[in-house]
């Protein structure tokens, strides 16, 4: 199985930047498309960004386009989410996830999930 561990969350002020990382175990990381999702209190987990197995295709939810960048380093089995111009509405637990399907916004396609890392943006 694939094990995923997020890191990099924290408390920042609105307008700040923050980078999240996701470390994956196993030797098949490069075969999976990856995604970032987030969940705020009282809300469903929502799609944030996805990246193809090769890293050549990316997609983002409209609310983060131009502010967030998803990337991966297959040689190091890591996934990243660089967040800029953070807003209070970005506050959530951020999860990385892996899917055997191609890059997609659909959370049901993701089979493996990390434990999440808290991002809090104060106003």
**Res 95: pLDDT:** 98
**Res 1: pLDDT:** 75
Tell me the average confidence (pLDDT) per consecutive run of 10 residues in the chain, 123 residues long: 93 98 89 97 97 97 98 96 98 97 96 97 96
Sequence-distant (6+) residues with CB within 8 A of 1 are 26, 112
Three-state SS at 92: strand
d(CA 42, CA 3): 26
- The first and second tokens of residue 89, run together, are 């509405």
**Res 50: pLDDT:** 98
* 17, 53, 86, 118 from 68: Cα distances, Å: 9, 19, 9, 16
**Res 26: pLDDT:** 77
Three-state SS at 88: helix
**Res 73: pLDDT:** 96
């Amino acid at each position: 199985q694939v094990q995923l561990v997020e890191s990099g969350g924290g408390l920042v002020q609105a307008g700040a930047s923050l980078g999240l990382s996701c470390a994956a175990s196993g030797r098949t990381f490069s075969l999976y498309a990856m995604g970032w999702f987030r969940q705020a209190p009282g809300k469903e987990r929502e799609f944030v960004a996805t990246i193809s197995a090769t890293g050549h295709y990316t997609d983002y939810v409209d609310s983060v386009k131009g502010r967030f960048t998803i990337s991966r380093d297959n040689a190091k089995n890591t996934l990243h989410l660089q967040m800029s111009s953070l807003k209070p509405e970005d506050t959530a637990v951020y999860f990385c996830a892996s899917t055997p399907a191609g890059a997609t916004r659909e959370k049901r396609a993701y089979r493996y999930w990390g434990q999440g890392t808290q991002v809090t943006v104060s106003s």
